[in-house]
Amino acid sequence: MTEPTGTPTHCPYCSLQCGMVLRPTDDRTDHAGPPAPATPTTPATPLSVEEWPGFPVNRGALCGKGRSAADLLNPAVRLTTPLVRDRPGAPLRPATWNEALDRVAQAVRRIRDGHGAEAVGVFGGGGLTNEKAYLLGKFARVALRTPSIDYNGRFCMSSAATASNRAFGLDRGLPFPLADIAATDCVLLVGSNLADTMPPALRYLTELTGRGGRLIVVDPRRTRTAAQAHLHLQPLPGSDLALALGMLHIAIDGGLVDTEFVARRTTGFEAVRTIAMDHWPTRVERLTGVPVHQLRQAVQTLAAAPTAMVLTARGSEQHSKGTDTVHGWINLCLALGKAGRPRSGYGCLTGQGNGQGGREHGQKADQLPGYRSLTDPAAREHVARVWGIEPADLPGPGRSAYELLDSAGTPGGVRALLVFGSNPVVSAPRAAHVEERLRALDLLVVSDVVLSETAALADVVLPSAQWAEETGTLTNLEGRVVLRRKAVDPPPQVRTDLQILSALADRLGVHHGFPAEPRDVFEELRRASAGGPADYSGISYERITGEGGVFWPCPGEDHPGTPRLFLDSFATPDGRARMVAVDYRPVAEPPDERYPLYLVTGRVLAHYQSGAQTRRVPALRAAEPGPFVELHPHLADRLGVADGDQVAVVSRRGRAVAPARLSTAIRSDVVFMPFHWAGPGRANTVTNPALDPLSGMPEFKVCAVRLEPVTAPVPDPAHTNVRHIVAHGEAAPHAAAPVASRT
């Protein structure tokens, strides 16, 4: 692969890791046009973003978020100096690095001595590079000796990861390259709106249909992606498992099961068959709202295709039965023989930028590097040897993400929390409760690029370098390990997360084993992952620079990497996929007389995750300036609500207020809110933290609500003025409320 001039690198947003080229703003090529002039609202940025047509994932295509990514480097929208709070209720003020780090280390030692090591917690992020995720997990278990670590990826891919590990013996978002999607004959896409969440990937579906392939989309809303489908199934939220079981029933009853494949390459079919036969089509129509004739059409289309794929995403996975639901789709895929073959298989459309790599190398509460289990004695022995400690010194598994946040400031819970690259005040379910728990901590430390809503609550805020200011590897949804390269130095008072972890470990008495150079960390990661399910030992910076990424597992430097998994056998002891018997159960919180509607949440095209970064980009903010409540005109008529009217979405946990947006693309018993905003329109104020018992995934995607018209004016969401704090050492007029409850 020929690399372009400039700095070839990768987008800081979703898991496609689209290739792009960075050049100094005053050195843009002619075809890119002159640099945009600086204005009071859009000061000049040091880099411009250009296309990289040679990178195979996006082939030059970039969405609006990627094209505007350099705006995040603007000093006006980011943290440029450490901030500390002198006492509870006091405003944040600028500090030196020594003062900030000393405060953290002293408080951690005090809390650890008084409450035990498990009282100090770490909360990571799915956007951290592999090096950061690895060193963060090591920091928690070696420098802090705590089991209390998890990350926001638990909120994204954990149900699909759990099901994939159980069914196939291995979890990699896609067990094949994205390009294979365009070459298959049929795709069943469940709970994903690629047109808004991963626009450059939509081309693969367009290419599929352009060559005569079929697309079936399952989604309660008629999204831009669903509008391109040959068949759109529009089920009640939370009924996907019933839908999968009903489709399997039809396949069995119609003689469409690939019996030879099932006998040769799977186990467990008879138990799965028994449950599926209880889900006859008319029953499934009552449970899901999907007509029987559409169920039959979907199954016949999928079964008739010589090759096919079943792809799931958050819409089907973010449920308290998310793991079982994914098993339902995997069982259907296996029963039809659409797995373990070229251009066929099940895949999870991983969402966060490094959601795949972030869960492979130690951020999760139950995992060690290389996707090893923390409870496996051999895994503990291997990683402890790399780390130079005794296996007995490794803590055991800790709480999952929501449980960790829910324990904050409680007896037996965490008393200190170090947050790296996450904004749970906006992104966690039952977010107002999570905010209360964070306020109750003895110590909250946040390392981030911007002063997020979570950072605004912290006792110590550490400004970290961002994507274009440091080198590091990431693993995209295909399992392709790529190198994001440094193009510009960070501001003088900004450090990388690796430098921060190294300095904190040193202050806590661990003077070795925490290098600050990314390449040094990656070399250790290679050794730690060697022999594990996610084996990176044969991947080097040189290889991924020259080859456009290498697919794991790659157990040796002469190994080509593994773009396609499971073609010969699955990663189970006997090489067969496990069909797991799962039965339908309703959502954790069905509608009733007080809360008669379903709420679903999701993303919009202009924004990403909690919006902490995209809400600071003028072009993206202009494209979608604030939250909204999407509802059907029939429902609006019943409530007396007009388009643009303020409405309150009320659940048992709280109330979110935003303008109504009328649309016939949604069911009349469902409302939709995007989750990118804080303030009155924070969708996660109302979402349900009911957890999947296997994956720890909260039920983000459905809860019971009612709508209420709002007549009083609603204030705009508060935005903290970072420059005001830095310049004046006091909270800005619109800063978050001070923390007054800490001791």
How high is the pLDDT of residue 1? 64
Nearest of 581, 732, 496, 47 to residue 270 by alpha carbon: 581
Residue 260: strand pairing partners: none
Does residue 97 carry a pLDDT above 90? yes
Residue 151: strand pairing partners: 124
pLDDT in tens, 553-601: 999 999 999 999 999 999 999 999 999 999 999 999 999 999 999 999 9
Residue 142 burial (10 A CB sphere; 0-12, 13-18, 19+): buried
Tell me the average pLDDT across 154-168.
95
Does residue 737 carry a pLDDT above 60? no
| Percent of residues, the chain, with pLDDT higher than 90 | 90
Q: Which secondary structure element, helix H or strand E, spans residue 49, and what is its range? A: strand 47-51
The three-class DSSP label of residue 605 is coil
How high is the pLDDT of residue 625? 97
Where residue 726 falls among pLDDT bands split at 50, 70, 90?
very low
Does residue 455 carry a pLDDT above 70? yes
Least-confidence region, from 34-43, 336-345, 424-433, 621-630: 34-43
Q: Are 669 and 685 in contact (CB under 8 A)?
A: no
Between CA 325 and CA 310 the distance in angstroms is: 13
How high is the pLDDT of residue 735? 33
| Contact residues for 712 (Cβ-Cβ < 8 A; gap 6+) | none
How high is the pLDDT of residue 26? 73
Enumerate domains of the chain plus CATH numbers. 7-77 (2.20.25), 83-152+361-467+490-536 (3.40.50.740), 158-348 (3.40.228.10), 597-709 (2.40.40.20)
Does residue 254 carry a pLDDT above 60? yes
Does residue 15 carry a pLDDT above 80? yes
| Contact residues for 282 (Cβ-Cβ < 8 A; gap 6+) | 292
The residue type found at 407 is S
Does residue 620 carry a pLDDT above 80? yes
Does residue 76 carry a pLDDT above 60? yes
| Percent of residues, the chain, with pLDDT higher than 70 | 93
Between CA 688 and CA 698 the distance in angstroms is: 7
Where residue 718 falls among pLDDT bands split at 50, 70, 90?
very low
pLDDT in tens, 372-388: 999 999 999 999 999 99
How high is the pLDDT of residue 734? 30
Between CA 716 and CA 330 the distance in angstroms is: 44
pLDDT in tens, 270-290: 999 999 999 999 999 999 999
> In b/e form, how buried is each residue of 416-434, taking b as 16+ CB within 10 angstroms?
bbbbbbbbbbbbbbbbbbb
How high is the pLDDT of residue 43? 46
Tell me the average pLDDT across 498-523.
98
Where residue 266 falls among pLDDT bands split at 50, 70, 90?
very high
Tell me the average pLDDT across 515-528.
98
How high is the pLDDT of residue 711? 83
Q: Which secondary structure element, helix H or strand E, spans residue 444, and what is its range? A: strand 443-448
The three-class DSSP label of residue 227 is helix
Q: Are 594 and 706 in contact (CB under 8 A)?
A: yes
| CA dihedral of residues 475, 479, 480, 482 (deg, nearest 10) | 10
Tell me the average pLDDT across 391-419.
97
How high is the pLDDT of residue 353? 87
Tell me the average pLDDT across 137-156.
96
Tell me the average pLDDT across 117-144.
97
| Contact residues for 657 (Cβ-Cβ < 8 A; gap 6+) | 646, 647, 648, 649, 680, 681, 710, 714
Does residue 740 carry a pLDDT above 60? no
pLDDT in tens, 300-325: 999 999 999 999 999 999 999 999 99
How many angstroms separate the first and last alpha carbons of the chain? 57
pLDDT in tens, 460-482: 999 999 999 999 999 999 999 99
How high is the pLDDT of residue 714? 67
Tell me the average pLDDT across 230-239.
98
How high is the pLDDT of residue 350? 87
Least-confidence region, from 58-62, 546-550, 633-637: 546-550
Residue 34 structure tokens: 């002159």
Does residue 691 carry a pLDDT above 50? yes
Tell me the average pLDDT across 700-711.
96
